[in-house]
Chains A and B, each alone.
Chain A
Amino acid sequence: MDILIAKEFSDVPWGRYPEDGDFCGEIFREKHLLPALKRTNPPERVRVNLDGVEGFGSSFLEEAFGGLVRRGFYRPDDLRKRLEVVASKDEFGMYVELIWRYVDEAKFGSEVSNLSTA
């Protein structure tokens, strides 16, 4: 399953929390990423494509991807089996590396989700 952020969410993703706007990391995680991951069974993977976006703030990326671990949805090794992040532009390789850094550094289950439990 593919998620093209620029087309299906926003080409200008912005902020971390819902109070920061409709295109923040938490809303992307809860309304797009998490439902797609839940519908997917390994070895099938959700492929998130970063192409077409104007740029990402690390706060967005950490909340969207690191948040999956922090909120206790998936452990990093489990997430690697279910998720693939791609970008065709070389410059966006930086974002792909950072996403996996945030996933690996996040402490599993250290926070409770606001949206998914609502």
Chain B
Amino acid sequence: MLGWIWHLLPAVVAIGIGGFWLNRFFVRKANLASLVDRSCNSIEGLVKKCAEYWTSNYSVEEATKSALLEAEIKATVLHINTLVNLIAKKYARSKITEETCKLILDLQNHCTGGLFETQRRKSDRIRMVRIISVANKLTEDLHMLKL
């Protein structure tokens, strides 16, 4: 009497499984996009902090402000690195290239290298140009993951 069910069942099961995988695909895409956006926002924030830090000389009057910026810059680079590691682990290991990893090292190197955290710090515009350049390249690489 209910023999027709057996004819429909494969289609229902196929739709169910297909729907599950389709949903999973889009949820993963959305999560990846959200992590990429978060990383890019952090990079943007990092560039602003570096612009403030690396366009002034060290001064005793501004030592507290500098110390705060230094802590923020170090923590932000580490945070960006953690987010990119998470993206690689969970969503796009094959898409995070060696070049992207090198850009993160360069970012850490330019943002916190040289006379960072020293009393000999001088305004360093060339370093700032390098930071912006690396930050832009990294942002481009990360946005490519969303496509």
A residues with CB within 8 A of B: 14-17, 19-20, 24, 54-60, 62, 90-91, 94, 97-98, 101
Contacts and interface: CB of A to CB of B under 8 A. Distances in A.
A109 B134 CA distance: 30
Closest 3 CB pairs of A and B: A58-B113, A57-B112, A15-B117
Given A14-B117, A59-B118, A60-B117, A91 B112 contact: no
B75 A20 contact: no
A20 B118 contact: yes
Given A90-B85, A91-B78, A91-B85, A59 B116 contact: yes
A59 B112 contact: yes
B77 to A, nearest CB: 8
A14 B109 CA distance: 15
A43 B118 CA distance: 36
A55 B117 CA distance: 13
Interface string B114-138: 1111111000000000000000000
Given A98-B105, A98-B108, A101-B105, A56 B119 contact: no
Interface string B75-110: 101100110010001000000000000001100110
B85 to A, nearest CB: 5
Contacts of A16: 115-118
A19 B75 contact: no
B74 A59 contact: no
Interface size class of B (residues with CB under 8 A): 20 to 34
Contacts of B108: 58, 94, 98
B120 A17 contact: yes
A96 to B, nearest CB: 11
B141 interface: no
Interface in B43-68: none
Nearest to B117: A15
Contacts of B120: 17
24 contacts: A14-B117, A15-B117, A15-B118, A16-B115, A16-B117, A17-B119, A17-B120, A19-B118, A20-B118, A54-B75, A56-B112, A58-B111, A58-B112, A58-B116, A59-B113, A59-B117, A59-B118, A60-B117, A91-B78, A91-B85, A94-B81, A94-B105, A97-B105, A98-B105
A17 B120 CA distance: 9
